[in-house]
Amino acid sequence: MTEASNYTASELLAVMSARLLLDGQIVFAGVGIPLLAATLAQRVHAPSLTILFEGGVIGPFIVPGELPPSTNEQRCTRKANMVLPITDVMLLLQRGYIDIGFMGGAQIDRYGNLNSSFIGDPEQPKIRLPGTGGGNDISSLTNMIVAMKHEKRRFVPKVDFITSPGFLDGGTSRSDAGLVSGGMFRVVTDLAIMGFDEQSKEMKVVSLHEGVSNEQVQDNTGFDLAFDDTVQTTQPPEPEELAVVRELDPESLYTA
Amino acid sequence: MSNSAKVKPYLELRAETQARERGLKEKVMSLEEAATLINDGDHVAIGGCTMSRTPMAMIWSLIRAGKKDLIASRSIMSSEGDLLFASGISKHVITSWFSQGIVWGVSKVMRHHVEGGHAKFDEWSHMSMGLRYRAGAMGVPFLPSRSMMGSDVGDRRREETRQMSCPFTGEPLTLLPALNPDVAIIHVQRADAYGNAQIDGLQFMDPDIAMAANKVILTTERIIDNAQIRRVPDRTRIPFFTVDAVVEVPFGCAPHECYGAYEPFFDHMGQYAKQVSLDPVAGAADYLRHYYEEPATWEAYLERVGITEILDASRRGRSVYDD
């Protein structure tokens, strides 16, 4: 992020991801940036967007300043339409009701596979991370948006462990493995927005944030990035969008 | 010793169930008595999820009783998983996610035990945990799923699942083996003396866990009369005949939350995270000594947690009914 900008990288992620969500969609959201973005979208342009939480919640609204610490506490149920058991809310993904799964990522590779389990050899890990939660199910069963910081150590040629499947080894390997639906849709970072090539399923840049160059994105990526023929430039966050994010997270728990 | 990946033959599972006491009888006991129902080596399923309706008082009692070699499963493990490892009562956890909570980062205690090879964190996807318990609750040996394929959490590395082609459509499916825990420990807002349990708010996987297990220990914020249960039977989530013990434990999830009664004790959790981050071994040992070994009763434990935190968590907890 440029020093002149008046927002943090996390705020930029929340705003840019929110813009990808459409009115009327059902969005399976994690806490943190995904929840902020989905709530921002509801407030600004998608009033009939519905949030689902893995803890078993359909259609909650978040009370500003009372962000839930996970998707499984009572804060997640405020003004919800329904609460149901975890297994049943997850099965809605399998049934096909969900448009977008939305989560953060620790490590991603060129085919959009996510690792939130191990850094280093999984048999002798350097770091044991918290694991999949619902990530494996969400990314197996619906279209995904991932929001994460753009750093070389996070954008690696091949993840150490596939926790949440993207397009596996590219091409048709995802459906060949039995994952016949869903897949990675967009990766939103503080530098750019990436999509995936229709045939090869390799990650490619579809738009850059204001003031960001191709070189800057490539320098922060651990593999050769493709660039779309018509790379767009995103509009910087509007004051109105930033105001909503800051109202929701006044203590910057997720947006510092 | 139970092997968590081993699916029990149906007649064996059914015979165990048939042999259980299923009459409408009172089964109220103390935490200490309830702990004797759990054997070393048992697979213990823990109710609730992350920091919600964690049966902390029962875990407190199991740690104090010095249980050994428990296999602990849960939808998502939070700080209670740290304490299972740090106390040594379990060296094998089956869950989908294991850390105190996102805002506190990765658990240093979990990392210490798993990275050092002292304990096993067996990771399954969240829906798969749920379907495994549900298969156990349904009395079937597996359930098919369209998740856990292609990934390392799934069949790239895992040997316990199977893939099959659907006999009707030919589509690929993952088969997830049933979990039938030896014991389920579950905390609820209210239950009667027979074990009819009513749950407010999020149920998580608890009804399935109760049905799947071969024994259920309920802890409850309060014991109510059976007549009150019968007034609103639609609120009952766990039927009495699955339950073997009922223990009344106010604030039985502290410092985690119990829906509508108290939210997580955030200051306590923050302090705990700080302490174990500085030193996952000594920090956790100090915590266990101060809160688990020295207080002789659950009331004495709550005294150490402190009235200020209890009141603050209760005020926030009840606020869910303000809307």
Which own/partner pairs from B229-234 qualify as long-range (CB within 8 Å, at least 24 positions apart)? B229/B192, B229/B196, B229/B198, B232/B198
CATH 3.40.50.1100 is right for the domain spanning B10-141+178-223+235-321: no
Q: Is A241 helix (H, G, I), strand (E, B) or coil?
A: helix
Helix (H) or strand (E) holding B281: helix B280-288
Residue pair A209/A147 in contact (Cβ under 8 Å)? The answer is: no
B49: its two tokens: 């999820």
Residue pair A70/A253 in contact (Cβ under 8 Å)? The answer is: no
As a residue count, chain B comes to 323
Which own/partner pairs from B276-283 qualify as long-range (CB within 8 Å, at least 24 positions apart)? B276/B82, B276/B107, B276/B108, B276/B109, B277/B105, B277/B108, B280/B86, B280/B108, B280/B109, B280/B111, B280/B112, B281/B86, B281/B112, B283/B108, B283/B109
Q: Is the pLDDT of residue B1 over 80?
A: no
Residues of chain B positioned with their CB less than 8 A from the CB of A103: none
CB contact under 8 A, B146 and A253: no
Catalytic residue (one of A11, A54, A202, A241): A54
Tens-place pLDDT, residues B220-242: 999 999 999 999 999 999 999 99
Q: Please, which residues 71-90 of chain B have a Cβ atom closer than 8 Å to chain A?
A: 75-76
B128: its two tokens: 């798969």
B154–chain A Cβ distance below 8 A for any pair? yes
Look at residue A204 and tell me if it is in a domain: yes
Say how many CB pairs under 8 Å bridge A and B: 200
**Which tops the pLDDT comparison, B26 or A256?**
B26
Helical segments of B139-248, H only: 206-212, 226-231
Annotated catalytic residue A54: yes
Strand partners, B220: B188, B248
CB contact under 8 A, A178 and B49: no
Q: Is the pLDDT of residue B323 over 90?
A: no
Residue pair A60/A90 in contact (Cβ under 8 Å)? The answer is: no
Look at residue A163 and tell me if it is in a domain: yes
Look at residue A256 and tell me if it is in a domain: no
The average pLDDT across B243-249 equals: 98
Tens-place pLDDT, residues B279-302: 999 999 999 999 999 999 999 999
Task: Give pLDDT, residue A163.
Answer: 97
Look at residue A3 and tell me if it is in a domain: no
Distance CA B137, CA B133 (A): 6
Q: Which of B76, B131, B202 to mutate to test the interface with A (most CBs of A within 10 A)?
A: B202
Percent of chain B whose pLDDT exceeds 90: 93
Distance CA B122, CA B239 (A): 30
CATH number of the CATH domain containing A53: 3.40.1080.10
**Side by side, which strands form the sheet with A203-208?**
A82-83, A57-58, A50-53, A26-29, A100-104, A143-147, A183-188, A192-196, A203-208, A226-233
Burial environment of residue B121 by CB neighbours within 10 A (0 to 12, 13 to 18, 19 or more): buried
Query: How many other C-beta atoms can be found within 10 angstroms of the C-beta atom of residue B105?
Result: 12
Distance CA B249, CA B4 (A): 29
Nearest CA in chain B to A119: B115
pLDDT digit of tens for each residue in chain A (256 aa)? Answer: 444 579 999 999 999 999 999 999 999 998 889 999 999 999 999 999 999 999 999 999 888 998 888 889 999 999 999 999 999 999 999 999 999 999 988 899 999 999 999 999 999 999 999 999 999 999 999 999 999 999 999 999 999 999 999 999 999 999 999 999 999 999 999 999 999 999 999 999 999 999 999 999 999 999 999 999 999 999 999 999 999 999 999 999 888 8
Strand partners, B143: B176
Packing angle of the helix pair A86-95, B126-138 (nearest 10 deg): 110
Task: Give pLDDT, residue A4.
Answer: 53
Task: Give pLDDT, residue B159.
Answer: 86
Residue pair A56/A83 in contact (Cβ under 8 Å)? The answer is: yes
Distance CA A168, CA B270 (A): 38
Tens-place pLDDT, residues B118-153: 999 999 999 999 999 999 999 999 999 999 999 999
Distance of CA A33 to the CA centre of its chain: 8
B127-137 as b/e: b if 16+ CB within 10 A: bbbbbbbbbbb
Name the pTM for this structure.
0.96
Nearest CB to A86: which of B101, B106, B204?
Answer: B204
Task: Give pLDDT, residue A67.
Answer: 87
Nearest CB to B49: which of A55, A136, A178?
Answer: A55
- For residue A80, give its domain range: 9-248
B47: its two tokens: 């109710």
Distance CA A92, CA A144 (A): 15
Task: Give pLDDT, residue B5.
Answer: 61
Q: Which residues contact A29 (CB under 8 A, 6 or more apart)?
A: A35, A37, A38, A51, A52, A53, A71, A102, A103
Computed over its alpha carbons, how large is the radius of gyration of chain B? 19
pLDDT band at residue B2 under the 50/70/90 scheme: very low
Look at residue A197 and tell me if it is in a domain: yes
Q: What is the DSSP secondary structure assignment for residue A230, as one 8-state letter?
A: E
A11: its two tokens: 């705020």
A173: its two tokens: 């390997």
Nearest CB to B123: which of A83, A86, A117?
Answer: A117
- In degrees, to the nearest 5, what angle opens at C-alpha B56 toward C-alphas B51 and B59? 130
State the nearest Cα–Cα gap between B239 and chain A, in angstroms: 16
B32: its two tokens: 């200490």
Instruction: Determine the residue type at B68.
Output: K
Query: How many other C-beta atoms can be found within 10 angstroms of the C-beta atom of residue B159?
Result: 7
Q: How many CA atoms lie within 13 A of A36 on its CB side?
A: 31
Task: Give pLDDT, residue B18.
Answer: 97
Q: Which residues contact B233 (CB under 8 A, 6 or more apart)?
A: none
Backbone angles phi and psi of B13, in degrees to 5? -60, -45
Give which of A180, A182, A178 is closest to A142, Cα–Cα. Answer: A182
Task: Give pLDDT, residue A2.
Answer: 45
Look at residue A254 and tell me if it is in a domain: no
Task: Give residue B91's region: left, alpha or beta (phi > 0; psi -120 to 50).
Answer: alpha
Task: Give pLDDT, residue A100.
Answer: 98
A127-137 as b/e: b if 16+ CB within 10 A: ebbbbbbbbbb
Distance CA B277, CA B255 (A): 18
Nearest CB to A130: which of B49, B106, B207?
Answer: B106
Residues of chain A positioned with their CB less than 8 A from the CB of B320: 74-75, 77-78
What are the residue ranges spanned by the domains of chain B? 10-141+178-223+235-321
Instruction: Determine the residue type at A130.
Output: P
Q: How many domains does chain A have?
A: 1
